Structure 1
């Protein structure tokens, strides 16, 4: 799933390419992907794109007062082309969920929203105000917003009895962090993914705050300027523990371990994060306290 760094880079890329172009046609290839009915999609056509921005993991394409907002979910992605075809797509055709075509001073442009797999979660909204999207209205603070300092993080953690892994992933608590970067942040902060949020002391909170900005900041710098087709590989190549179960931790050399759940998994380093303890796989037994 694309997270804050990739979504920010994607929004910047689309803003650079699409700002000032005219949205010529919108095709929704799956009825399930469109979550709103008013205003109708036909109102988008003929409007000039005035900007593209990010809200958490949502991308917001604004066209003269209307906002075409999409969330790529776990298996969604974007294909951008400067040579779009005029082909009308059939409902349910392949992996394409929606297609937008634009006219610009340099020629036609195309944007496909795609989704692989059988579990379809990609979502599209057309609203007059981004706050009309329930997921955006419920977002917690952005880690890079001016008011998000270490005291703000400490207040969030003090009020939660959840495990810290879940707190970092909760979009209503903090916007933009998902499964991959929460693994990386907790590794950098030397914190167990199963530590209770309100149990972290002052130094641990400071380490976590620093790790959030270190990990996401480095990923943002790496993703900036890359086209959509390169963002996934750039994300994978800089992971130290996420997706690397069985490999050596680049910090201490211990073996990276994994805990699997019903539909996801986390990775961690026992030496760096759990004082050498191995957390039991949730598929077979309870995790070790």
Structure 2
């Protein structure tokens, strides 16, 4: 799933490509992806691009007072085309194509989604806050207002909720997903199941986790900056220490990276670095063994 660093890199790339360009039209191939009807998709035809911004994991292309907002969800992506095909994409359950944005020189971007679970979402709105997911977003972890004091209050409000879930909740902190929550918890040497409120009981733990959030995400943004869209996924994967590395050695201590599975996702962690050497219970595996 594209998270804050990858979406930020896409935004930076698109800013350069779309600056002062006109949108000729937006061709919709997956009708279920479009979540709004007023303004219609055709209202974007002939508009001039004003800018490209990020709201959490949402990508926002503003054009002549309208906003084309895209949430790539788990398997969505953006692909640049120097020249788009003359024929608009046709709706097909077998095609990854969701939509195509055509520019005034016949270049454009393809919005795609792999897999069978179609969760990618496209909105045409007059203000980004009209998108429910954006309206509910918590603070951006790289913004100036995300101070250690603000983070402390977030953890206090979360109470006994597990850190992994708190960090992934977009209404609590915007932009952190499954992969980077694993990575920053590994950097902070904390269990994903550690209660949020317990972190504020130790000023050292609070500072360690806060610094891990800022450092891991800033480093990922800096590494991704300037890369082509096609290179971003590989860059992310090559720098992950625990996420997606089940069974491989931890690059910090050499212990074996473990996994806890859930219904539709999983987390990875290092027992030595994060849980005092004790493996966490994998509830799904425990049920299979009964």
Question: TM-score when scaled to structure 2?
Answer: 0.96
Alpha-carbon deviation of 1:252? Answer: 1.1
Alignment of 1:15-164 (within 5 A): 15-92=15-92, 94-103=95-104, 107-160=105-158, 161-164=160-163
The runs of at least 4 consecutive aligned structure 1 residues that moved more than 4 Å come to none
Structure 1 Cα separation of the partners of residues 246 and 43 of structure 2:
48
Secondary structure of 1:11's counterpart equals helix
| Equivalent residue number for residue 198 of structure 2 | 199
Deviations 1:34-60 (A, max 9, x none): 000000111100001111110000000
- Give the length in aligned residue pairs: 283
| Equivalent residue number for residue 252 of structure 1 | 253
| Equivalent residue number for residue 6 of structure 1 | 6
Aligned-CA RMSD value:
1.0
2:231 is aligned with 1:226: no
Alpha-carbon deviation of 1:217? Answer: 0.8
Secondary structure of 2:183's counterpart equals helix
Question: Of Structure 1 and Structure 2, which has the larger fraction of its residues in helix?
Answer: 2
Structure 2 Cα separation of the partners of residues 119 and 76 of structure 1:
10
| Contact 2:142 2:218 (8 Å CA) reproduced | no
Deviations 1:98-141 (A, max 9, x none): 011001xxx33111100111110000000000000000000000
| Equivalent residue number for residue 264 of structure 1 | 265
Gaps of 5+ in 1: none
| Equivalent residue number for residue 165 of structure 2 | 166
Structure 2 Cα separation of the partners of residues 141 and 179 of structure 1:
18
Secondary structure of 1:221's counterpart equals helix
Secondary structure of 1:155's counterpart equals helix
